[in-house]
Copies of this chain bind each other. A is one copy, B any other.
Amino acid sequence: MKTRSLRGLLSRIRRGTLPIDAALERLRELPYEDLGFAKIDNHRELRRGFPEVIFGEGKTVPQIVAIVDRIVGRGQTALITRVGEEVHHRVRERHPGARYHATARAVTVGFRPRRGGGRPGILVLAAGTSDLPVAEEAALTAEVMGNRVERAYDVGIAGLHRLLAQRKKLRKARVIVAVAGMEGALPSVVAGLVPVPVIGVPTSIGYGTGLKGVAALMGMLNSCSTGLLVVNIDNGFGAGYSASVINKMIDK
């Protein structure tokens, strides 16, 4: 449609119904994307089937509901992160298909997980029990984006045998999300074991000097292993999103 409006404008020039100076002026005022630059933003095509995401933290419930309405109205899937059960209740009143993912603290609308389906290749690891909310946010994001996600939780480095027992899953993965708080060493150890991209997610688990995940973040950034990429503290969504982008490109 956008291309169409631009074509229309050019046609009117051709037909002589639009003077060149007026055309120049119109070109300058046309919305940006009409001029073709949006081609760079060809996300849409690539993302076909990708959900629209609402970062719920700090938004009011009415704000969230309004955005969900708009997304669902366009026939898209919605993923709302960082919200409690009460948001789910309010969304479900209007959209009965809304579903609450308690550990991930997220709501999905219009998301139907395919049994055994989806693109394989993403493995989500979590060091400890307290890292689960972030790990599940990453896993759910990847699932909503069309992946079949493997999980291996409670594989922190304080007991290496737990991680090494996951050899099979590690071998099959095409991209790994490794979630860890405290000293955040799990992604480093994993990146030393596998030849695929590892995305480290520091979590705000722990206390004392590690408070808020800075220790884990610094640990991951300063990893002595190569092949480790990092996202912000607790940013499970970002890790799941990037893992999905990489996995989709591998699959093409």
- Residues of A near any B CB (own CB < 8 A): 3, 6-7, 10-11, 13-14, 16, 20, 23-24, 27-29, 31-33, 35-43, 45-47, 53, 57-59, 63, 127-130, 156-161, 164-165, 167-168, 170-171, 174-175, 182-185, 188-189, 191-197, 199, 202, 204-235, 237-238, 241-242, 245-246, 249-250, 252
A-B pairs with beta carbons under 8 Å apart, 8 shown: A7-B24, A40-B171, A40-B193, A47-B195, A182-B222, A207-B233, A208-B234, A211-B212
* Inter-chain contact B205/A209, CB cutoff 8 Å: no
Cβ A196 vs Cβ B157 within 8 A: no
A195 to chain B, nearest CB (A): 4
In the complex, the answer to whether B221 meets A208 with C-beta atoms within 8 Å is yes
Question: In the complex where A3-B24, A189-B189, A232-B209 touch, is A241 in contact with B227 (Cβ < 8 A)?
Answer: yes
16 further A-B pairs in the complex, CB-CB below 8 A; given A157-B225, A158-B225, A183-B222: A10-B13, A14-B14, A14-B20, A31-B165, A43-B194, A58-B205, A157-B224, A160-B193, A183-B184, A204-B208, A208-B212, A208-B217, A215-B218, A221-B231, A222-B232, A226-B242
Contact between A222 and B212, CB atoms less than 8 A apart: no
Q: Which of B36, B189, B195, B207 contacts A232 (CB 8 A)?
A: B207
State whether B224 touches A128 (Cβ < 8 A).
yes
B-chain residues with CB within 8 Å of residue A29 when the two chains form the complex: 167-168
A238 / chain B contacts, CB cutoff of 8 Å: 226-228
Beta-carbon contact of B24 and A36 below 8 Å: yes
Q: In the assembled complex, which residues on chain B have CB atoms less than 8 Å from the CB atom of A191?
A: 158
**Interchain CB contact under 8 A, A207 and B157:** no
